[in-house]
Structure 1
Amino acid sequence: MNLQPVKFKLTPWKEVISGIIGYFPGKMVILEKFWQKMEFQFSFPQGERDSRHDTKNLPQRLKRFGIYPREARVYNETNKEWTGGKMTLLTKRQRDILALLIKEEEYVTVKQIAARFGIAERTVRYDLRWIECWLRENGSGLLKTAGCAGTIDRSAQDFDAERFREALNDIHHRALSAAERRFTILLYLFLEPEAITLRQIAERLNVCKNTVVSDMDAVDGQLAQAGLRLERKIHYGFSLAGAETAIRGFYIRTVLDGLARNLISEAHLLVWLKAASPGQLSAIIDEVESELRVEYSDSAKKELYISLLVAAHRVLNGRLLPDGPEDGEREDGYRQLDRLYDTWAAGHRIAMPRGELAYIRQIFRGAKLANDRNDIGDPAASDAETMLLCQQMIDDARCYLGLDLQNDLELVHGLRTHLKIAVHRLRHNLSVSNPLTDQVKFQMPFFFEMSKKIIAKYEGRIGAAVPDDETAYIAMYFGAAFERSLCSGFMPTALVVCGGGVATSGLLITRLKVMLPEIKLIGPVPAEKIAATLAGTAVDFIIATAPVKGLGKEVVRVNPLLENDDLTRIKTLIFRNSSRKQLQYLSDRNLREAEERWELGELIPREALNLNVECKNWQQAIRCCGQPLLEQGAITEQYVEAMIKAVLDYGPYMVIIPEIALAHAAPEKGVRRECLSLITLRQPLQFGEKNKEWVRIVIVFGARNHQPEQLHRLVKILEQPGNIERIKEAAAHDQIMRLSNR
């Protein structure tokens, strides 16, 4: 369908809500809200145009009011020109729905889509009308039946689902979100050889200048954090200013983040960077690996690949690095790198100066290794330096963990290799990116804070501040060593209850030992001996082949043949119990006052403790629990949303004590002071979107660092026999405020 914009009369009121109105078959009128405005656009099917409406001067009149239609021309990034006619743009949600329809070859109902994306069915039907327009413009359509959303018309001979996916990934085919616009603006600033004006950006993004002005303020803040600045010149436009190495490092991180967040596809990135023969760059990386006898990690290979493209593009735009002193004798692998990259660049008519080749060598020296088959790398003096740094950091960790990890060869070798590369990257201002940083902060807060304090002691020696991404890597090394050192003490003990014969019980025990060798097993015993066994043996949970009473222990019922679902449920219990034991150990290490007594009322004020709260879902439960802390000003609304996002991203990992959710997020997400709140639920709720866990108690805690002392104290109270049940059953505050760690 061709949508044709038509003129309409604008009201004289300044408070007018502007919007897009589209006329579709069936006389359907649609309103779409954008940027706190509404943009109006009449559109008619072919042959139904009303002669009373005139399109003359419409674009100019609309732009005066900051109004742009959701039909756009296509900006060709290669030719730097607008091509083709108008096309319908889709929002991110609409693109996600279309991606689902492309993936599912069968009919999908409106109800299924609404449940999948958490929106109303009415909203789904609205989105489907835009999707149908987009499909018709791209040579397809939407097949519908009564009660169904439909499926994509795949009847055309040239139908190609991959072509649709590529079109959806093209930035210029989207109604961009704020994050997408700002990412695209950063790319424009980096890739343009000259300055770029507000008008040029607005036209390419199909938004008004006021929107771009707002985005530029946010972009300026991002650049400032990276030590860069945005230069504004009247009648000239915007350009970047800062050290060239800093600019490249920032954009390598930005591009990697954009790829990870699906803000741009790799195919379209290659178009933007004018990259030809990208396969040759991958071959260069492979050959350097072979020459140096190392294996780069997958993430490092992607970073090296982007770095080579970025360097070539900057040279092409005349943004050169100065020639520095030669870096001494180079290994054969790096000489091969110089030759291969110089040959690739020459084939694309790019002359690589000496400073550029030296920069590429620095990038490769700082790449993260998956395997190092020799000692090729830094000189012996640098290796001795990193070995000393490694030993000192491991000694520091002993003070926090109470463990001597110097004999953990896996830790010593891994941390030493990592520090050698990390110190090189930090000293040469090379970008550091860790996709697991937020997850480490969320799931390993103690180790992150410990590593942060340890590495801070050596920043002067390193000569650079250590970012959180690097700290998270170090925390992962210490966390893994901690689990290896005490794995036998933290691994749970399970009682196996089987009422079958010898063959059945023998098969179950054998399969458990083969598939879950880390778990300690007792039994098998018949159901009538459960009580006697629990009386004399410490057991964490019970694995049973028939319904049994657990006498206060969690029970997981399994098929004697151990199906996949059975293993998943057992692994969940293993993770929960081992995590709880780790938390208890670290709480004991953190709280030195062995004789001190404290009560629940000292940790959680009465106004932050609510009993028998009625909540519809786990999201509402987190919000209800966090509300008193919001009112006190201890946390921000951003922190509450970050806690919910953490559950969506990482699952119910905070349920490490049965039926208790310890909800939290990273301190920088909005913690103003250390705080605790608690609610009990009238009815249990399942937490998480997958691998759901039943919860009766929700605790929200916030800490200015990643070592919340109040939480450690609360854990000691919960450890006391009977305290958790008393909290669950409490009907009044006075029944639990005096609960203590004694």
Structure 2
Amino acid sequence: MIPLTTRQVLILAELLNANGPLTCGELALRVGASPRMVRYDLRGVALWLQENGARLQNRPNVGALVEAPRQVRSDLWAQLASGAGAALVLSPGERVQALTLCLLTSDEPLSAQRLAREVGVAQPTALAGIQEAQRWLAGHGLELTRQPRWGFVVAGRELTRRAALVQCLIEAAGDAFWLPRCAAVPQPAQPGNPKAVVAGLLLARRFLARVDLAYARWLVDLMESYLQRQFADSSRVSLVLAMAVLMVRVGLGRTVEVTPEQLARVRRQKEFRAASNAIAAVEQRLGLALPEGETAYVAMHLLGAWTRQSL
């Protein structure tokens, strides 16, 4: 199968999201390229569409339009959501987010050379991005240390690290990316800003490859059912990601510690009982016995979700 470049993915996402034809000039403005580059890229897009049961109609002075039945169009979105064949080509801001995600998801030191490979840039460019990532981490209560001959590693409390990872995932990929994936019934991506969604995919795909997002959604459904309340979209995204992060971290032997005061404060809440049900399911799935701090961690997320909804 013909692979798509990142820019071709962006062009195709714009075409799939459009209600009518788009000219090369319009596409160029949307994806940040020249009309000449777009014209060249459309050849590859046309071949890719042909291989996937669709057709690119491209008329002079009218524009390009994807011709495909509804089901095929939905399948095309699913193909884009896989991220297969797309190179990691990011803006400076997205590069910092990608570096931050790499650092937050690794307990081992990462060398500048390896981080440069991860985001597809030269080592000096990666080092500049690492400095920005260090500032972001400091603003979220974490320290980025450099171990001679080994590399960079994030230091800080597990509770703080998880909160930062969830926040970074949300900031990097955005609501348009996460909402369809965290909904009670996952929806096909139909974004208003395809470029943001594709960039989000490129940033988040390494994390997604390590987690069972469907199971994390089920855990949130379980807690919603117990509490007989429905979370708002933004709260649900945070909760699903928090549960996904929890499963990854406890699987690595990294558990949350809370103070006796924090534990006493949440233990009397019904959210603690809902969290207990979810943690029991996680324990059974992973074959682990988790400390009570993990239940408190989830309960605090639940209480925070109601607070956000009432604001």
* TM over 0.5, shorter chain: yes
- Unaligned 5+ segments in structure 2 are 175-195
State the alpha-carbon separation in 1 of the partners of residues 230 and 104 from structure 2. Answer: 31
**Which residue number in structure 2 is paired with residue 334 of structure 1?**
272
- Which amino acid counterpart does residue 36 of structure 2 have in structure 1? R
| SS of alignment partner, residue 153 of structure 2 | strand
Cα deviation for residue 216 of structure 1 reads 0.6
Structure with more of its chain in helix, by fraction:
2
**Which residue number in structure 1 is paired with residue 238 of structure 2?**
303
Give per-residue Cα distances to partners, 1:695-741, cap 9 Å, x unaligned: xxxxxxxxxxxxxxxxxxxxxxxxxxxxxxxxxxxxxxxxxxxxxxx
- Aligned partners of 2:56 and 2:66 also within 8 Å: yes
The answer to whether 1:197 aligns with 2:111 is: yes
For residues 28-427 of structure 1, the aligned pairs below 5 Å read 87-91=3-7, 95-104=9-18, 107-113=21-27, 117=30, 123-133=34-44, 136=47, 139=51, 142-152=56-66, 154=68, 160-167=75-82, 173-260=87-174, 262=197, 263-265=199-201, 268=205, 269-275=207-213, 277-290=215-228, 294-322=229-257, 324-325=259-260, 326-327=263-264, 330-369=268-307
State the alpha-carbon separation in 1 of the partners of residues 285 and 244 from structure 2. Answer: 14
- Which amino acid counterpart does residue 348 of structure 1 have in structure 2? L
TM-score, normalised to structure 2, is: 0.74
Change (3 A) 1:199 1:346: farther
- Aligned partners of 2:88 and 2:120 also within 8 Å: no
State the alpha-carbon separation in 1 of the partners of residues 287 and 85 from structure 2. Answer: 28
State the alpha-carbon separation in 2 of the partners of residues 223 and 319 from structure 1. Answer: 19
Structure with more of its chain in strand, by fraction:
1
State the alpha-carbon separation in 2 of the partners of residues 119 and 362 from structure 1. Answer: 42
Change (3 A) 1:334 1:224: closer
- Aligned partners of 1:288 and 1:334 also within 8 Å: no
Cα deviation for residue 215 of structure 1 reads 0.9
- Which amino acid counterpart does residue 90 of structure 1 have in structure 2? T
RMSD of aligned Cα (Å): 3.5
- Aligned partners of 1:197 and 1:236 also within 8 Å: yes
- Aligned partners of 1:106 and 1:151 also within 8 Å: yes
- Aligned partners of 1:288 and 1:337 also within 8 Å: no
Moved more, 315-324 or 266-275: 266-275
- Aligned partners of 2:166 and 2:245 also within 8 Å: yes
- Aligned partners of 1:142 and 1:152 also within 8 Å: yes
**Greater CA radius of gyration, 1 or 2?**
1
| SS of alignment partner, residue 367 of structure 1 | helix
- Aligned partners of 1:274 and 1:313 also within 8 Å: no
Cα deviation for residue 370 of structure 1 reads 7.9
TM-score, normalised to structure 1, is: 0.34
- Aligned partners of 2:247 and 2:282 also within 8 Å: no
Cα deviation for residue 241 of structure 1 reads 0.7
- Unaligned 5+ segments in structure 1 are 3-86, 372-417, 419-472, 474-742
| SS of alignment partner, residue 109 of structure 2 | coil
Cα deviation for residue 167 of structure 1 reads 4.5
Larger relative contact order (Cα-Cα within 8 Å, sequence gap ≥ 6): 2
Cα deviation for residue 218 of structure 1 reads 0.9
How many residues align structurally?
A: 279
Cα deviation for residue 98 of structure 1 reads 2.5
Change (3 A) 1:333 1:112: closer
| SS of alignment partner, residue 230 of structure 1 | strand
Change (3 A) 1:351 1:223: same
- Aligned partners of 2:283 and 2:289 also within 8 Å: yes
